[in-house]
Copies of this chain bind each other. A is one copy, B any other.
Amino acid sequence: MPFPTSINNLIQHFNNLPGIGQKTAERLVFYLLKKDKNTLADFANTLSHIKDNIKNCNQCGQITESDLCSICSDNKREKTIICVIAESSDIGPLEKAQQFNGTYHVLHGILNPTEGITPDRLNISKLEERIKNNGIKEIILALNPTIEGETTNLYLTKLLKKYDIQITQLARGLPQGGDLEYADEVTLANAFKGRIKI
Protein backbone atom coordinates (compact mmCIF):
# COMPACT_ATOMS: atom_id res chain seq x y z
CA MET A 1 0.00 0.00 0.00
CA PRO A 2 1.24 3.49 -0.88
CA PHE A 3 0.78 4.76 2.70
CA PRO A 4 3.52 6.04 5.03
CA THR A 5 5.18 3.41 7.25
CA SER A 6 3.56 4.60 10.49
CA ILE A 7 0.10 4.36 8.91
CA ASN A 8 0.86 0.91 7.53
CA ASN A 9 2.08 -0.20 10.96
CA LEU A 10 -1.11 0.96 12.65
CA ILE A 11 -3.22 -0.69 9.92
CA GLN A 12 -1.27 -3.90 10.58
CA HIS A 13 -1.96 -3.70 14.32
CA PHE A 14 -5.70 -3.35 13.72
CA ASN A 15 -5.55 -6.04 11.02
CA ASN A 16 -4.09 -8.44 13.62
CA LEU A 17 -7.23 -8.17 15.75
CA PRO A 18 -9.80 -10.94 15.31
CA GLY A 19 -12.51 -10.20 12.75
CA ILE A 20 -10.81 -7.08 11.38
CA GLY A 21 -9.61 -7.41 7.80
CA GLN A 22 -7.32 -5.16 5.77
CA LYS A 23 -10.11 -2.89 4.49
CA THR A 24 -11.71 -2.41 7.91
CA ALA A 25 -8.29 -1.74 9.43
CA GLU A 26 -7.61 0.95 6.80
CA ARG A 27 -11.02 2.49 7.48
CA LEU A 28 -10.39 2.59 11.24
CA VAL A 29 -6.95 4.19 10.84
CA PHE A 30 -8.24 6.90 8.49
CA TYR A 31 -11.07 7.53 10.94
CA LEU A 32 -8.56 7.90 13.78
CA LEU A 33 -6.42 10.27 11.69
CA LYS A 34 -9.31 12.73 11.80
CA LYS A 35 -9.49 12.65 15.61
CA ASP A 36 -7.55 15.15 17.71
CA LYS A 37 -4.25 14.22 19.34
CA ASN A 38 -5.68 14.10 22.87
CA THR A 39 -8.21 11.44 21.96
CA LEU A 40 -5.50 9.36 20.32
CA ALA A 41 -3.14 9.82 23.28
CA ASP A 42 -5.88 8.79 25.71
CA PHE A 43 -6.76 5.71 23.61
CA ALA A 44 -3.06 4.77 23.37
CA ASN A 45 -2.48 5.34 27.07
CA THR A 46 -5.42 3.13 28.09
CA LEU A 47 -4.20 0.48 25.67
CA SER A 48 -0.59 0.41 26.83
CA HIS A 49 -1.46 0.30 30.54
CA ILE A 50 -4.35 -2.13 30.26
CA LYS A 51 -2.40 -5.00 31.80
CA ASP A 52 -0.61 -2.95 34.48
CA ASN A 53 -3.36 -2.91 37.11
CA ILE A 54 -5.28 -5.94 35.98
CA LYS A 55 -5.09 -9.08 38.10
CA ASN A 56 -7.34 -12.04 38.76
CA CYS A 57 -9.82 -11.83 41.64
CA ASN A 58 -8.47 -13.80 44.62
CA GLN A 59 -11.79 -15.56 44.96
CA CYS A 60 -13.41 -16.11 41.57
CA GLY A 61 -10.52 -15.52 39.18
CA GLN A 62 -12.19 -12.88 37.03
CA ILE A 63 -10.23 -9.79 35.94
CA THR A 64 -10.21 -6.97 38.47
CA GLU A 65 -8.12 -4.02 39.62
CA SER A 66 -8.37 -4.86 43.34
CA ASP A 67 -7.87 -8.11 45.32
CA LEU A 68 -11.55 -8.96 45.14
CA CYS A 69 -13.65 -8.21 42.06
CA SER A 70 -16.72 -5.95 42.20
CA ILE A 71 -19.07 -8.94 42.29
CA CYS A 72 -17.24 -10.94 45.00
CA SER A 73 -17.04 -7.83 47.20
CA ASP A 74 -20.71 -6.91 46.67
CA ASN A 75 -22.72 -7.68 49.84
CA LYS A 76 -25.95 -7.88 47.88
CA ARG A 77 -24.80 -10.90 45.86
CA GLU A 78 -25.78 -14.38 47.03
CA LYS A 79 -22.45 -15.94 48.05
CA THR A 80 -23.67 -19.56 48.24
CA ILE A 81 -24.42 -19.95 44.53
CA ILE A 82 -21.55 -20.07 42.05
CA CYS A 83 -21.91 -19.81 38.29
CA VAL A 84 -18.92 -21.51 36.61
CA ILE A 85 -17.78 -19.86 33.37
CA ALA A 86 -14.86 -20.36 31.01
CA GLU A 87 -13.61 -16.77 30.60
CA SER A 88 -14.01 -13.39 32.34
CA SER A 89 -15.61 -12.07 29.17
CA ASP A 90 -18.56 -14.46 29.64
CA ILE A 91 -19.70 -12.36 32.61
CA GLY A 92 -20.78 -9.57 30.23
CA PRO A 93 -23.77 -11.32 28.59
CA LEU A 94 -24.73 -13.16 31.80
CA GLU A 95 -24.91 -9.94 33.83
CA LYS A 96 -26.79 -8.20 31.04
CA ALA A 97 -29.53 -10.85 31.31
CA GLN A 98 -30.05 -9.76 34.96
CA GLN A 99 -31.17 -13.26 35.97
CA PHE A 100 -28.37 -14.28 38.29
CA ASN A 101 -27.51 -12.73 41.64
CA GLY A 102 -24.84 -15.18 42.84
CA THR A 103 -21.09 -15.07 42.28
CA TYR A 104 -18.98 -16.41 39.42
CA HIS A 105 -16.00 -18.69 39.09
CA VAL A 106 -13.77 -18.32 36.04
CA LEU A 107 -12.01 -21.49 34.85
CA HIS A 108 -9.71 -19.58 32.44
CA GLY A 109 -10.40 -22.07 29.66
CA ILE A 110 -12.19 -25.36 29.09
CA LEU A 111 -10.87 -28.90 28.87
CA ASN A 112 -9.27 -29.65 25.52
CA PRO A 113 -6.85 -32.58 25.79
CA THR A 114 -5.80 -32.34 22.11
CA GLU A 115 -4.57 -28.79 22.78
CA GLY A 116 -3.00 -29.83 26.08
CA ILE A 117 -5.60 -28.15 28.28
CA THR A 118 -5.93 -30.70 31.08
CA PRO A 119 -7.80 -30.17 34.41
CA ASP A 120 -4.66 -29.00 36.22
CA ARG A 121 -4.37 -26.07 33.77
CA LEU A 122 -7.79 -24.77 34.80
CA ASN A 123 -8.80 -22.78 37.90
CA ILE A 124 -10.53 -25.81 39.47
CA SER A 125 -8.71 -26.33 42.80
CA LYS A 126 -9.83 -22.87 43.95
CA LEU A 127 -13.40 -23.82 43.08
CA GLU A 128 -13.14 -26.86 45.37
CA GLU A 129 -11.64 -24.64 48.09
CA ARG A 130 -14.62 -22.28 47.82
CA ILE A 131 -17.06 -25.20 48.02
CA LYS A 132 -15.30 -26.59 51.12
CA ASN A 133 -14.98 -23.31 53.00
CA ASN A 134 -17.86 -21.07 51.96
CA GLY A 135 -21.00 -23.16 52.46
CA ILE A 136 -21.80 -23.29 48.75
CA LYS A 137 -25.29 -24.68 47.99
CA GLU A 138 -25.40 -24.71 44.20
CA ILE A 139 -22.99 -24.75 41.28
CA ILE A 140 -24.43 -23.64 37.93
CA LEU A 141 -22.32 -24.76 34.99
CA ALA A 142 -22.50 -22.08 32.26
CA LEU A 143 -19.98 -23.30 29.70
CA ASN A 144 -20.46 -23.11 25.96
CA PRO A 145 -22.63 -25.95 24.57
CA THR A 146 -19.73 -27.41 22.56
CA ILE A 147 -17.93 -30.75 22.80
CA GLU A 148 -15.22 -29.16 24.98
CA GLY A 149 -17.88 -27.50 27.14
CA GLU A 150 -19.75 -30.79 27.59
CA THR A 151 -16.50 -32.59 28.46
CA THR A 152 -15.71 -29.98 31.10
CA ASN A 153 -19.28 -30.21 32.46
CA LEU A 154 -18.93 -33.98 32.75
CA TYR A 155 -15.53 -33.73 34.44
CA LEU A 156 -16.73 -31.14 36.95
CA THR A 157 -19.95 -33.05 37.72
CA LYS A 158 -17.95 -36.19 38.53
CA LEU A 159 -15.35 -34.27 40.55
CA LEU A 160 -17.88 -32.32 42.63
CA LYS A 161 -20.27 -35.23 43.26
CA LYS A 162 -18.57 -35.87 46.60
CA TYR A 163 -19.74 -32.53 48.02
CA ASP A 164 -23.28 -32.07 49.30
CA ILE A 165 -24.26 -29.44 46.73
CA GLN A 166 -26.65 -29.13 43.84
CA ILE A 167 -24.98 -29.09 40.41
CA THR A 168 -27.01 -27.69 37.52
CA GLN A 169 -26.30 -26.54 33.99
CA LEU A 170 -27.99 -23.84 31.91
CA ALA A 171 -30.96 -25.19 29.92
CA ARG A 172 -30.50 -26.27 26.30
CA GLY A 173 -33.26 -25.66 23.80
CA LEU A 174 -34.53 -23.35 21.07
CA PRO A 175 -33.10 -19.84 21.24
CA GLN A 176 -35.66 -17.01 21.47
CA GLY A 177 -36.58 -15.77 18.00
CA GLY A 178 -35.13 -18.90 16.41
CA ASP A 179 -36.76 -20.76 13.54
CA LEU A 180 -37.72 -24.45 13.86
CA GLU A 181 -36.96 -24.92 10.18
CA TYR A 182 -33.30 -24.03 10.70
CA ALA A 183 -32.78 -25.67 14.10
CA ASP A 184 -30.17 -28.46 14.07
CA GLU A 185 -30.85 -32.01 15.30
CA VAL A 186 -28.95 -31.66 18.58
CA THR A 187 -30.78 -28.46 19.52
CA LEU A 188 -34.13 -30.10 18.72
CA ALA A 189 -33.16 -33.26 20.65
CA ASN A 190 -32.23 -31.07 23.65
CA ALA A 191 -35.49 -29.13 23.30
CA PHE A 192 -37.48 -32.39 23.40
CA LYS A 193 -35.49 -33.82 26.34
CA GLY A 194 -35.79 -30.60 28.32
CA ARG A 195 -39.45 -29.87 27.54
CA ILE A 196 -41.42 -28.37 30.41
CA LYS A 197 -45.09 -28.51 31.38
CA ILE A 198 -47.01 -25.31 30.63
- Give Cα distance in the complex from A37 to B26, angstroms: 24
Chain B residue with the shortest CB-CB distance to A19: B24
Contact of A27 among B19, B30, B54, B69 (CB under 8 A): B19
Give the interface SS of chain A, mostly helix, strand, loop or mixed.
helix
- In the complex, A48 has a CB within 8 A of chain B: yes
The answer to whether A48 and B41 touch across the interface, beta carbons within 8 angstroms, is: yes
By CB atoms of chain B within 10 A, which of A4, A18, A29 has the most?
Answer: A4
The answer to whether B88 and A53 touch across the interface, beta carbons within 8 angstroms, is: no
Contact residues of A with B, CB < 8 Å?
1-7, 9-10, 13, 17-20, 23-24, 26-33, 37, 40-51, 53-54, 63-65, 69-71, 87-89, 91-92, 95-96
